[in-house]
A and B are shown apart, each in its own frame.
Chain A
């Protein structure tokens, strides 16, 4: 925010809209967001809040009929020479052709991605067919190919390597992500691996090109805690060694507390709060953030207390409430204010932004 020198991604007033028969869904609604080099930015929020759509917009992969209707996504593309950043090119991602040469170099090569297992990732706004096409076009694992071949292809596509070199690198990456007997496993098909192993292979694929940034969309949601711990340690280790930035999308607050330096909280396509992780957990300002933090059960001393829950539900995206979109569920709702005036982002502390009328003079 204050320090612009290390910027990697700068998103300004981004809007992503889906024009469907029943109306227009604003999946991302005026989002401002940035990520610096080597930083881990956590993004939290309930399903449908637009966190995954933001990730897709960065890769110019918004599924149809979705469109980026406003704003800009600037990618400060580092040009490397002898292991150091020689200069930085500014690429406006949303102006690029989604099938063009440049975005294909960036996607998967300079910005890697890990998506969650498809278990709960189907969005009702588009068809199953789209999901499948998209899954194939993303570096998702194809069931009919050996994982080694898929890793080799990805490596060859983004780095000038011979097939043999790429294969050795693939084995090396499998070793790093903790797959037992990597030299044999490289010839396995995805169905021969367990869920945790598949996810680790996905991590290996994403990291094998040593991207500047990794977008991890719920990378551990479908995994057991023991495997999750391994994957998180692995991501952190690799981040330290190669200095990559991570955009970590999750709704698991325990995971985010451990991984992120800074957290953005989203609700209905908007950023409601952004702060350093410690500030967010200890001094959350927005009532939505406060409620989210209180609604998770904590391990340790057992209390008979009920969990605090957020009343009501996420509003109908076709029929958003006026004013602040959170006001129908908000315990600090101020009648006559919150239902009329949309809050703007206010600075409430160092690197701490919140958009709530409680912190705004109107």
Chain B
């Protein structure tokens, strides 16, 4: 396969499976007869993060903050406006060694090949499964697409996968509507695993499920991660679920990551005022807990017309003049704890 990338992409650390640098995705706002672009919705606006091999990175934030878009840019369901996403893959390498590629610069043929190693699980287990296909067709489809389907051998793989995710293999000729929501999500998980991926992007995989089914699904995802050494990017808005499943968590606000750290550090000792406010809003399942919420003023900023300086400054309790003019830098304040806030050093914020 021809290498179209001129400069050999470099990943910052040996441990990283994926490193995203300055990722941007703007959606144009078009108006008038000539569809003239009059502005941009800055859905993902200069985002950098990384995922280590076999770990889970949680991506949280309010709706519209760009967490789903960021996930979709990595797998190139959207074409990013700019940035880099270095990924360690065996698919495009000639030997058995890992090769680092920039997912953003790959052509479509190469990208299709790399998608064997990056899978996706969607939020809505009803609409993400084709109602006219049987379970075995659905799980087999990635193998067919990548030309790896061999009838007997693949059939065995499907049976094993279905058993692994807790579905009965004798149901493989059934259609999605014959299953409950939790079971449908298991079908989606089996499909994601059929090509033996290294990275799975989970976009709100449990938010449509009941609590008891949610617990089963989270446990399954954790078991599969151990068995197959999967790395997850876990996009969700439920902060307790994200903390439970993630090794590290990144918090997004209006297209930017404001804080990224080890899950416990982020929840207990947040460094960004937005994280603090989010954490204070989480309802605690304890009636004796006296809630002391920080109510954020106003609404989430408009991503097509973000505020000056730090995007969070109009809603922040700790705003100083500098926040209004100067955008804070996303920096590593403590080991493995990244934050973008001018006042991160001086503020003492409370966690959950």
A residues whose Cβ falls under 8 Å from a Cβ of B: 46-47, 120, 180, 194-197, 224-230, 232-233, 251-255, 257-258, 277-278, 281, 291-293, 295-302, 306-310, 313-314
Contact = CB atoms under 8 A, between A and B. Distances in A.
B219 A254 contact: no
Contacts of A298: 240, 284-285
A300 B267 contact: yes
Given A232-B283, A257-B287, A296-B215, 20 more contacts: A180-B299, A196-B63, A224-B62, A225-B278, A229-B293, A251-B211, A253-B211, A254-B240, A257-B284, A292-B212, A297-B241, A297-B243, A299-B282, A302-B264, A306-B219, A309-B212, A309-B215, A310-B212, A313-B180, A313-B182
Interface residues of B, number: 48
A281 B283 CA distance: 14
Interface string B306-350: 000000000000000000000000000000000000000000000
A251 B243 CA distance: 19
B157 interface: no
A107 B265 CA distance: 49
A224 B63 contact: yes
B41 to A, nearest CB: 14
Given A180-B299, A257-B284, A306-B222, A225 B239 contact: yes
Given A278-B288, A306-B222, A257 B283 contact: yes
B219 A307 contact: yes
Given A224-B62, A225-B281, A230-B295, A299 B243 contact: yes
A287 to B, nearest CB: 12
B287 A277 contact: yes
Contacts, number: 126
Contacts of B106: none
Interface string B128-166: 000000000000000000000000000000000000000
Contacts of B243: 297, 299, 302
Interface in B243-298: 243-245, 263-264, 267-268, 277-279, 281-289, 291, 293, 295-296, 298
B283 A258 contact: yes
Given A225-B282, A253-B285, A254-B240, A292 B62 contact: no
B216 A254 contact: no
A314 to B, nearest CB: 8
B281 A228 contact: yes
Contact of A180 (B218, B277, B288, B298): B298
Contacts of A120: 208
B352 interface: yes
Q: Is the interface of B mostly helix, strand, loop or mixed?
A: helix
Nearest to B352: A299
A225 B296 CA distance: 11
B210 A228 contact: no
Nearest to B280: A229
Contact of B239 (A196, A295, A299, A309): A299
Contacts of B181: 47
A292 to B, nearest CB: 6
Contacts of B241: 297
Given A228-B281, A299-B240, A281 B287 contact: yes
A326 to B, nearest CB: 12
B214 A295 contact: yes
B55 to A, nearest CB: 14
Contacts of B222: 306
A231 B179 CA distance: 34
B287 A226 contact: no
A310 B214 CA distance: 10
B237 interface: yes
Contacts of A301: 264, 268
Nearest to B286: A257
Contacts of B216: 309-310
Interface in B81-96: none
A227 B315 CA distance: 14
A120 B183 CA distance: 16
B203 to A, nearest CB: 15
B295 A229 contact: yes
14 contacts: A225-B283, A227-B62, A253-B285, A257-B284, A257-B285, A278-B287, A281-B287, A297-B244, A298-B284, A300-B352, A307-B215, A307-B219, A310-B216, A313-B182
